[in-house]
Chain A
Amino acid sequence: MNSEFLILMKQEMGVTLILFILLFLKIWDGIKENGILLHLINVLLLLNFLLGFVLNQNGELFNGMFATNSLRVMEKSVLNLGTLIISLQAYDYLKSHKHLLEFFMLLLSTLLGMFFMISSNNLLMFYLGIELSSIPLAAMANFDMDKIKSSEAAVKMILSSAFASALMLFGISFLYGTSGTLNFQELVSLITGSPLQVFALLLVFSGFAFKLSAVPFHLWTADVYEGAPVAVTSYLSVISKAAIVFVTLSSLAPLFSHLNEMWYHLLFVTIILTITLGNIFAIRQDNIKRFLAFSSISQVGFILLGISSGTATGATSAIYFLVVYIFSNLGAFGVIALLSSQTGKENISDLKGFYQTNPLMGWVLAISLFSLGGIPPTAGFFGKMFLVTAGAAKGNYVLITIAALNMVISLYYYLRVVKAIFMDKNETPVEPLRGSLSLRLALLICMIGVVGTGFAGGFFEHIYQLAAK
């Protein structure tokens, strides 16, 4: 046990340690300056991210309640990096916030929940992880205390996530009842496909769909994204989504391994609904946060398309796409965060003529949107291409045709925003924005990611080797 335990759980330990450092800082109340605290937190998060590159080891602890391997360590590092970027971006928003330390305490506890979720080989730990990553997040959505929208977002989020996890639990209870075990590996071999088990698996799947905001369980997404503070929205749409996808790959998909046919049909319907409805709603939005919410719903559909192939290539392309998605979405959200914190504007029509006054930010936003839309030189193109090729391996051309059609539709609405930035005339464009050094650093990381991941050819193979093991 002893030292092995520390090494296997290093990332969880790191997050918990930072959580407690912040708790003591809060109690001590010695540093009054929010700016200094933020820099300190960013350094800690950076150290935690670097922790993912040393002392990697595979193993199991607590009788399979916690299991780790290189792939899971990599996934956690991705989440760590995303959290660091969000924290850098939130500098302007949090600098004047009264509850800065509490914000990060809640943020880190949700991150810890996601780590437990990714590492769980056990239904109980999985459930605890999913709750740990959603309850504090609802509290964070309420961090603009005196805005009605923000509390409303929080209420909608906690009620819908409580309902979703209750549905999932009912399913889990029947899985336990029919198999007598909570361990994922043992469970996989005990799934026989009796009607009750199929029903239970469907309930578990719908819980997942809720958290992924896949159609028809997407109704909470747009309201929550719009109402919550930008930092929380970006965290919700990127980090928590990525975590759920990782778990879907590592835990949910194997549960269906004896019910291949059903799993594929289930995904088939979900993918078509998710991609199409997400796109149709995204076209109509003017608020840019809602717009990104609906477009992210349709992105989830593409990720599920990769997963539906059921091969290591599919899993790899899903993970690869998520990394790209994190960079591109956070790039877009960074500019929105700056816009919203300095002018309070959040509408696409406000972006008209954005390029005239903010050429650099205009380019950042445009490149991020190109990547989200999947336009060639950016990494988003490779990501989508891998997903679609993986999905095509099954030879289901209906699915691929619908996906391709939707890619065109999504290009239309992403380019509409880009057109507003570059071409539309506006008498009163947004005044020049001055981003903090942190924010610009974060955007730089995102841009390097968006361009670099596409050209770093070894990256895909690296993930593939980890995933194929």
Chain B
Amino acid sequence: MNEIGLTHILFVSTMLFFIGVYGFLTRKNMITMLMAVELILNSVNINFIAFNKYLYGDKLDGLFFTIFIITIAAAEAAVAIAIIINLYRNLKSIDVDDADIMKF
């Protein structure tokens, strides 16, 4: 598996990151925006694992960072979805455009 270098994996994670950013910028629906954030966090995880694997294998720093990111992503998603459901109860819609009582 030596043919696959670090840059190949970093290419995948970079692409994933910007796909996530694109999703966050263009989506209007709150749940899909949350999904885009999850994609970004996953690209970060790939980065950490790849660096840990290829460069700094003597410690497990990157791996632990990944574990904590996954945990926090779960907590974040749970709170976000609780809030979204509560908003839906009040508003009967979860599009960002419908939630425009407040203007910039």
Direct contact of A and B (CB under 8 A): yes
Q: Does A155 contact B (CB under 8 A)?
A: yes
Q: Which residues from 40 to 86 on chain B have a C-beta closer than 8 Å to any C-beta of chain A?
A: 40-41, 43-44, 47-48, 50-51, 55-56, 61-62, 64-65, 68-69, 72, 75-76, 79-80, 82-84, 86
Q: Does A159 contact B (CB under 8 A)?
A: yes
CB pair A124 B64 closer than 8 Å: yes
Q: Given contacts A135-B76, A155-B84, A159-B80, is CB(A166)–CB(B41) below 8 Å?
A: yes
Partner of A176, one of B37, B62, B72, B82: B62
Residue on B nearest A224 in the bound complex, by CB: B102
CB pair B64 A154 closer than 8 Å: no
Distance between Cα atoms of A162 and B73 in the complex (Å):
9
Partner of B99, one of A124, A152, A174: A152
Distance between Cα atoms of A142 and B84 in the complex (Å):
10
Q: Which residues from 117 to 161 on chain A have a C-beta closer than 8 Å to any C-beta of chain B?
A: 123-124, 127-128, 131, 135-136, 138-139, 142, 145-149, 151-155, 158-159
Residues of A within 8 A of B72 (CB): 127-128, 131, 135
Residue on A nearest B87 in the bound complex, by CB: A151
CB pair B80 A124 closer than 8 Å: no
Distance between Cα atoms of A172 and B76 in the complex (Å):
19
CB pair A223 B61 closer than 8 Å: no
Residue on A nearest B103 in the bound complex, by CB: A223
A465 to chain B, nearest CB (A): 35
Distance between Cα atoms of A155 and B75 in the complex (Å):
15
Q: Does B90 contact A (CB under 8 A)?
A: yes
Q: Given contacts A166-B37, A176-B61, is CB(A158)–CB(B87) below 8 Å?
A: no
Q: Given contacts A124-B64, A166-B37, A182-B61, is CB(A139)–CB(B83) below 8 Å?
A: yes
Residues of A within 8 A of B61 (CB): 124, 176, 180-182
CB pair A182 B101 closer than 8 Å: no
Residues of B within 8 A of A127 (CB): 65, 68-69, 72
CB pair A158 B40 closer than 8 Å: no
Residue on B nearest A154 in the bound complex, by CB: B83
Q: Does A163 contact B (CB under 8 A)?
A: yes
Residues of B within 8 A of A223 (CB): 102, 104
A72 to chain B, nearest CB (A): 23
Partner of B44, one of A173, A182, A219, A226: A173
Partner of A148, one of B33, B34, B82, B91: B91
B40 to chain A, nearest CB (A): 4
Residue on A nearest B56 in the bound complex, by CB: A180
Query: How many inter-chain residue pairs (CB < 8 Å) link A and B?
Result: 120
Q: Does A5 contact B (CB under 8 A)?
A: no
Residue-by-residue, is A165-201 near B (CB-CB < 8 Å gives 1, otherwise 0)? 0110110111011001110000000000000000000
CB pair A124 B68 closer than 8 Å: yes
Q: How many residues of B contact A (CB 8 A)?
A: 39
Partner of B37, one of A131, A142, A162: A162
Q: Does B30 contact A (CB under 8 A)?
A: yes
CB pair A177 B90 closer than 8 Å: no
Distance between Cα atoms of A122 and B62 in the complex (Å):
13
Residues of A within 8 A of B62 (CB): 176
CB pair B41 A159 closer than 8 Å: no
Residue on B nearest A179 in the bound complex, by CB: B56
CB pair A139 B87 closer than 8 Å: no
Residues of B within 8 A of A145 (CB): 86
Q: Given contacts A155-B99, A173-B51, A180-B56, is CB(A166)–CB(B44) below 8 Å?
A: yes
Distance between Cα atoms of A158 and B33 in the complex (Å):
11
B50 to chain A, nearest CB (A): 8
Distance between Cα atoms of A180 and B75 in the complex (Å):
28
Q: Does A222 contact B (CB under 8 A)?
A: yes
Distance between Cα atoms of A128 and B30 in the complex (Å):
24
Most chain B CB within a 10 A radius of its CB, from A145, A147, A223:
A223
Residue on B nearest A138 in the bound complex, by CB: B79
Q: Given contacts A124-B68, A135-B75, is CB(A152)–CB(B101) below 8 Å?
A: yes
Q: Does A373 contact B (CB under 8 A)?
A: no
Residue-by-residue, is A216-236 near B (CB-CB < 8 Å gives 1, otherwise 0)? 000100110011000000000
Distance between Cα atoms of A75 and B61 in the complex (Å):
29
CB pair A176 B102 closer than 8 Å: no
Q: Given contacts A135-B75, A152-B99, A222-B104, is CB(A166)–CB(B40) below 8 Å?
A: yes
Residues of B within 8 A of A167 (CB): 40
A-B contact pairs, 7 of them (CB 8 A): A124-B64, A148-B90, A151-B86, A152-B99, A155-B30, A173-B48, A176-B48
3 A-B pairs with the lowest CB-CB distances in the bound complex, closest first: A173-B47, A151-B87, A166-B40
Given A149-B101, A151-B86, 11 extra CB contacts under 8 A: A123-B65, A124-B64, A146-B90, A147-B90, A151-B83, A155-B30, A158-B83, A159-B30, A172-B44, A174-B47, A226-B102
